[in-house]
Structure 1
Amino acid sequence: MIVGVSFLSMLAIGMPIAFALATLALIYILVSGNTVMLQSYSQQLYGGLENYGLIALPLFILLGEFMNAGGIGRRLMALALALLGRVRGGLAYVNLGANMMMASILGSTVAQITIMSRLAVPEMERAGYPRDVSMAIAAAGGLLAPIIPPSMLFIIFGVIAQIPIGDLFIAGVIPGFLIFIAFLGVIAWLGHRHDFPTTESMSMRERLKAVADALPAAAIPVIIVGSILGGLATPTESAAIASLAAVAIGLFVYREMRLIDIPKAFLNAAASSASVLFLIAAAQVFSWVITFENLPAMVAAAMQGMTQSPIVFLLMLNVLLLFLGMITDPIPALILVVPVFLPVATGIYGIDPFHFGVVVCLNLTLGLLTPPVGTGLFVASLMGNVRPERLAVLLVPFFLAVLVVLLLLVVFPVLSTGLIGG
């Protein structure tokens, strides 16, 4: 009770969420009387950032800054609009489509939200879209990253469960497209509710000009995808290479970037990265406190004797995971949940491990956009300068759309196992 009241009080006075989470962990330690944990507090705070994969985050933020400064992002959006034609809310669909493309490259929700907030949101705002709605669409698109292969969550699940990661990637293809289609419907509804502008019709000459003008800009995603799929670079290295290419294109091809813009882009990227990384570190400390209490293991033991139905078990598990996702990040939650629940799911209820993996990973991704932890939600708030509670309200339709897909997966396992012959 004291912990909950403290957290709500900190949010009420406007304390940044990162400081609130770090302070909340301290309060919990003191209230529980387990002061031995204080000795490991600073180590856990630092340990939240001791991950090689996080190096990609500031590099992709920097790439977004360079793409904005060099006019690359605007030309890619113009290309997408030229191919799309006259449609109400065209830029919103382009935003989601770009998110899907980036999801197949990055596999990280936080990195995806940061780069799309720099790439798509400014273009939508200039076209007359509300900034908060634009940021909500970009944040919702980030939910595709942990599901559409390659996926960081799938890799971690495959390692823990000791199942082929390639097959797990295949299992995520249909669920990823189902979420994409559901989001298209949500955007169509938002378009009518918020009166999205209609994209103007273009002549064939204008379309060809847009295509020709965007060809150098299109080299950026080609570099990222090609270097990763070709085995020439890791996602982190590809972000660095693409950043150099973006500078060259902005300076010498489009000539919209000036030398003075380069240090400014570094400063902006450093400031954004610092905010996001500290948020991740604070979330890790809070997750560590929850992990220390061993709550999931106790709940699993109670669930075992409650039902014999695989569907009921998965529905109950989803409720637990939704709650767990609200208070911890997906990766720590995955490390917590899989060793506890996977043997129960496969051994007692006969659930396919690939089906189980997709359901668990999809469920935990929702936690990225739900308070009180909601790393993706607060990253989007920071990057878009939109209050998190406003974003949370706008994300409700997307949240419900994912829940519908999640229920379909629970009832129809073939949606995840069909492509791998499960």
Structure 2
Amino acid sequence: MTSLEDLPDELLHRVIESLSLNCKPFTVPSAISRHSVCSVSLVNHRLRRLSLPILFRKVSILYDDDGSGVIKKALGLNMHLLPLFRELSIRVSLRSLSEGEIALLLVDVLSRCTCLEHLVLPQLSFGRGYLLPIIEALNSHPSDNIRLQFVSIKYVDPELLNISLSRVICGWEWRKCFDEEMKLLLAQGMSIQSICRNGHVDESWMDMTYPGLTEISGWRGNERSLQSTIDFLLRHPLLERITLSEAHNCDMTPWRVAFTSKMYPYSVKIGKRDFPARPWGEGNSVVKIGEEWLYREVKVVFQDDVSHGDVETVETMVRTLRKALPQPSPTYPCVGIDFSLPVGEYLTSDDLIGILTRNMSDIRYLDLGKFLSDILTRECSRIHEPGSTVQEHPIPGLASFSKRLRQLEAWSRGGFFYGRTQTRQGEWVDW
């Protein structure tokens, strides 16, 4: 009978790698036993030899009261393991350390972890002069793949404007680093992983190219031309998500053109999501699926005439909307639905639940505008006799509607659902 030990190293390596697929990075200190590969490494010398490069490929050093002590101790006790590190995340409080101590600590990490490819420091921003020796150590690191990731860019010290930044990755918040400074940093080779524009109107930033860009937030949009937006997207093939500013109303964008085409023959208006941020955040958003940009978070107001009592057309509109959203969804879409005509005057809550169950059961964040309030208010007024006390609630019957919807298998199997609607006075109510 063949045992595990009879397999060649190549197959054993694949087996051990499969065990690590769903594991979090190896954590220092304490959480050793939570990593499944750790147990394999303790079986015998052969499995340990094959396991260690996988076990220590991704390492995370957790917070301690003395952050520098944890790191130095971890490095000092495991000198023979440091060349195995490929990705290192240091999650400690650096605020208790002086700038000089931070520089010495990181230079030490870079000098010891000779095969490191990625070093993440969530609490450290780029820009201060004390980072110069760190960047110099980074540039002289023997691994060509090493990158140092900073959470953001602040004031840029002149000392950092005369050194290569080709191994530095940052997020860019416009209010902390203006366009002229960004041009200099890009010329030095810096990679920009994310951009936050805060709804700023100036579009000159779109003339630049940002290596490594994957996400943009607070983008007000490009008012110049559709082609200029397309050119920008083509120059950034890694870009996969854009969150739009609340002020964004530009129709000439690739996602709006694609959405309008998919919604044909219906006419829709993209609404502004002006209610509180939880859980959607500010503005609509789009994601890249294959080579196409599609809305992931969007509020749609149907503009077409609908005959009084024509429930079938209402459902066809909702079905068309779902087909225009990402299929299959990379993450659960957030969708708002409303109508320019008062469909709530004849649509029943049973009609609406049926429409949503048949067409929107994979949506987990749903805004139904004011028409749901109209439906429930009308139905509640029929239940109560004249002179009786009506339930005091911004939208009577909303709790019952929510309970009925959540009890259906199509909505309960996802594990969670979040909805909100507007009262006739325009106030938002969660359900």
- Shorter chain as normaliser: what TM range? under 0.3
Q: Report which of the two has the higher share of helix.
A: 1
Tell me: higher relative CO, structure 1 or 2? Use CA pairs within 8 A at least 6 residues apart.
1
| TM-score, normalisation: structure 1 | 0.22
Larger gyration radius, structure 1 or structure 2: 2
Q: Report which of the two has the higher share of strand.
A: 2
| TM-score, normalisation: structure 2 | 0.22
